[in-house]
Amino acid sequence: MAPPDNFANYPDVVQGPDTGYDQRVDHNPVLRGLPLAVGAEIGIISRFFLNNSGITKIKDMPELDHVTPTFHPTVTPLGPTGPMLAFEPELLTPKHASSSSKSRYYSASDYHAMYKSGALTPLQVIETLLGLTTGGGSKYSDAWADAHGAEKLAVEAARASTERWAAGTPLGVLDGVPVGVKDDTDVKGYVNHYGMKYNGALPAFAAREETAWPVRKLQEAGAIVLGKNKMHELGSDTSGLNVVQGTPTNHLNNAYYPGGSSNGAGSSISAGIVPICVGTDAGGSIRIPANFNGIYGLKPSHHRTMAMEGTVCVTGPLAATAADLTIAYRVMAQPDASCPTQARFALSLPPPSAGGSRVMGVFRDWYNRADPPVRDLCDKALDYFASERGYQIVDISIPFLPEAQVAHAGLCIAEMAEKARRRTPDNAADHLSLVGSANKILLSVGAQVSAGDYLKINALRTVLMRHLAHLFQQHPGLLIMTPATPIVGWPRAAGDDAHGMSDANVTLRNMSYVFLANMAGNPSVSAPVGYVDPEQGEGKLPVSLLATGEWGSEEQLLAWAREAEEYLHETYPEGRRRPEAWADVFALARGG
């Protein structure tokens, strides 16, 4: 079958072999405390991890002989690139609950209505929030990185927004809405710490001179950057543990990690501090913290919001509501005329309101590797989509998934290691001095990935993308459905906050489903569908479904996320939950 002609670089439509699914079980040593510190200094440890990972075995797969590598999985839908889709009334109207409900999160439309009524101003809101997020005196401040005096920029933006509201000339629904930005994404005047300990003597820690495109578009729409959200050091893991900066709280149950690497974003949205954050996702770093914190996260198509150096990482939104996720995505994805890659993406269009194909594909052997409580909640949600929303559930298979996850890990750490090496330009060998013990090991492993490994890893990417193209052509409108993660949260352990930890077994299991979209460049969205009792601490833990779509299908995924939100509020017996520590920002700004 020929590739469709309304895309650039659409993969050849080639069905891969039926390899089944042989669940990979990793047996890596779990390192904590002194063993971790010692292991970080011994070269044999990193060589052991590399050999044990299977990364070096990818190049020996005979199925990859004569396969052309795909280095950037950029599949570009062609067509009109603008104007940005208007916001439908349903996106601008609070839904599901009264203001007194335990499930209610404030949305951008709530902020808009509050400012329009004159009951509050953006300046009052921002000054209140800065009191909660700076200085370390609040239970919410652990989600926010040191602004080094850049807080004044938020105050200046709030004053400007307040003046627009007073003059009756607001810019739209986002004018005056506070947002967070992950600490690896450029915002003019702010430092990028990348989750590391600050070192003002290095150029890497200088305040940024320009703002990244998707953040700039949010600011041009009136959104106010409240500050930079903390992240896992280098974005290298999915727990969210950060020894040098402090680990953000999972407010649903503080005995569990918030997920990573966009840990501060997940924590701050769940707690009600901001309704929207900008995150990055190279291996679930948007969707895993969205899952662990019971919110919504979208990983867009590769290069959709901005072109990035890495071949697996994208920039996308996290939000408290599916409506705000949609609003943020549309604003962030506007074409950048100065970028020859991102500017070519056609608008993602919502699916037809009637008559369109509604198909969900499930690879049962892969899906069923999830822990039973996760699988049970996801099964119930899928039953709802089939019986109440008209989706057809079809069985699918995807070849070489265990090998593809290993390949994805190899890409992540090899690209991370090379980027890290240039943070100490006077002596590149010093770069390991900037990071903790866990990342010393990980970067040392990444530096050993060879050119041959890298070439064949990207050849496997080609095979995977071709098979996905086959599935999407076989089943138009297909959504590939899995849990967001197979585990019920990641429990915190005593001593980890002081000394760190390396548990590659849980890391890889946590990424069992999310990696596919990063490897193949597809868009993917995480939406909560229920809660389970914890093994430790107080507070139920959320479980999310993950939908992965064809390249360019962001609007289809966002429409599905709104259906999932409806299910959680109206059909799931317990309804949506929010933390006991949820901050009523409006009441606090009024002095309540």
Q: What is the pLDDT of residue 1?
A: 78
DSSP 100: T
C-beta of residue 194 within 8 angstroms of C-beta of residue 234: yes
Residue keyed to tokens 């150029």: 203
The phi, psi pair for 498, rounded to 5°, reads -90, -35
Instruction: Per-residue pLDDT tens, the chain, 592 aa: give them.
Output: 788 999 999 999 999 999 999 888 889 999 999 999 999 999 899 999 999 999 999 999 999 999 999 999 999 999 999 999 999 999 999 877 554 567 889 999 999 999 999 999 999 999 999 999 998 889 999 999 999 999 999 999 999 999 999 999 999 999 999 999 999 999 999 999 999 999 999 999 999 999 999 999 999 999 999 999 999 999 999 999 999 999 999 999 999 999 999 999 999 999 999 999 999 999 999 999 999 999 999 999 999 999 999 999 999 999 999 999 999 999 999 999 999 999 999 999 999 876 678 999 999 999 999 999 999 999 999 999 999 999 999 999 999 999 999 999 999 999 999 999 889 988 888 899 999 999 999 999 999 999 999 999 999 999 999 999 999 999 999 999 999 999 999 999 999 999 899 999 999 999 999 999 999 999 999 999 999 999 999 999 999 999 999 999 999 999 999 999 999 999 999 999 999 999 999 999 999 6
Kindly report whether the global pTM for this prediction surpasses the value 0.95: yes
User: Residue 526 contacts by C-beta under 8 Å, 6 or more apart in sequence?
Assistant: 286, 287, 288, 290, 291, 296, 297, 298, 484, 544, 545, 546
**What dihedral do alpha carbons 109, 112, 118, 123 form, nearest 10°?**
120
C-beta of residue 483 within 8 angstroms of C-beta of residue 367: yes
d(CA 332, CA 317): 8
Q: What is the pLDDT of residues 270-326, one digit of tens each?
A: 999 999 999 999 999 999 999 999 999 999 999 999 999 999 999 999 999 999 999
CA distances from 169 to 115, 125, 154, 162, 489 (A): 12, 19, 20, 10, 45
DSSP, collapsed to helix, strand or coil, labels residue 8 as strand
DSSP, collapsed to helix, strand or coil, labels residue 462 as helix
Residue keyed to tokens 């049970």: 376
Note the CATH number of domain 107-344+355-361+509-589. 3.90.1300.10
Q: What is the pLDDT of residues 313-367, one digit of tens each?
A: 999 999 999 999 999 999 999 999 999 999 999 999 999 876 678 999 999 999 9
Q: What is the pLDDT of residue 11?
A: 98
